[in-house]
Every structure is written in C-alpha cells, then in structure tokens.
Amino acid sequence: MKTRLLLLIATFAIIPTCVMAEGCDVQTRSSSAAVPAVETHSCYEYEGMPVDSINWSCSNETKDTLNATKKKVDRCDDHYQATCTARLTQESLANPHSTSKDKSAKPLNMPDNAKVTTYYYDGEHLAQAKIDCENSGGNWKAK
C-alpha cells in the first residue's frame, strides 16, 4: 500500500516538469499603417519542455513596431483557423516565430521532442503567415 502511494506521488511530481503544454495568448496590432500585422490574434504552446519555460517569451516586453499583448494560458483555445508546428530551438524560446529549418537537426540543450505550435485565430494576412511558417521549417495545417 505504501509503495503504491509513493509511486503515485512520484508520478505526479515528475509529470508536471516534462509533459504539460503551456500557452501564450497574443493580441497584436500595428503601431503604423505602413507595418501590417500578419496575425492579429494567435497563441503558441511549447510541448516537451519543462513547466514555465514559456514565461520569458510570454512577457509583454517588446521593442517591435507591432504592439503585442501577451497572456500566459494553460492551453490555447481550439477555435483556431490554422496552426504552424515546428521544432523548438533555443532562439524560439525568445521568438516563437523562429524555428529550425533542418527538421533532422538536434538543437543543443533542447529535448528531442520539444516543439512549438502556433494557433492562428484571425488575421488579415494568413496566407503570409503560412509562407512564414513553411519558410521557417514548420508544418502548416488549416482547420
């Protein structure tokens, strides 16, 4: 009986550190009419990474010409129009749009199964988001 209880406790102690996905909901608007926002509402999730590894990229600190409001969520909503899934790299921890073009490459200090999935909910230029996804080594999937 005690062995089962210890095994159960150990299982729940290990699972949250490696298995759970976390998301970052992003609302984007352009600071200038000359700079269109490719996506206006998206959310991205890291999979195969330790808990809280998304915290830094999901902060609201940005110096871009696009204003983005980011909010950490347990999971991204399922009412998306399309997704882009790619291998997670060290650079994509800071920029979720930066992914590995070499699908067989193993990034240093990253779990082999680590990936980032971006969910696109609305946007004026989803065709451009698809091009960006595929040019960065990602797999685009329309719902």
pLDDT 10s digits, 73-128: 999 999 999 999 998 887 777 766 665 555 565 555 778 888 999 999 986 778 98
pTM across the whole model: 0.73
CA-based radius of gyration for the chain: 17
142 φ, ψ (degrees, to nearest 5): -80, 145
SS3 9: helix
14 within some domain: no
Percent of the chain with pLDDT strictly greater than 70: 66
Q: Which residue has the higher pLDDT, 46 or 11?
A: 46
* 57 belongs to a structural domain: yes
The residue among 25 and 62 whose pLDDT is bigger is: 25
**Structural domain boundaries, residue 121:** 20-142
Residue 42 lies in a domain: yes
Q: Which residue has the higher pLDDT, 12 or 3?
A: 3
Q: Does residue 11 fall inside a structural domain? A: no
- Quick check: is 89 in a domain? yes
Return all residues near 49 (Cβ < 8 A) that are at least 6 apart: 18, 88, 111, 114
Alpha helices by DSSP H, 19-135: 126-135
Does residue 88 lie in a domain region? yes
Please check whether residue 25 lies inside any domain of the structure: yes
Determine, yes or no, domain membership for 120: yes
Q: Looking at the predicted structure, is the pLDDT value of residue 2 above 50?
A: no
Return all residues near 89 (Cβ < 8 A) that are at least 6 apart.
Answer: 98, 99, 100, 107, 110
For the chain, what is the domain count?
A: 1
Q: Which residues pair with 66 in a beta bridge?
A: 30
Instruction: Flag whether pLDDT at 23 surpasses 90.
Output: yes
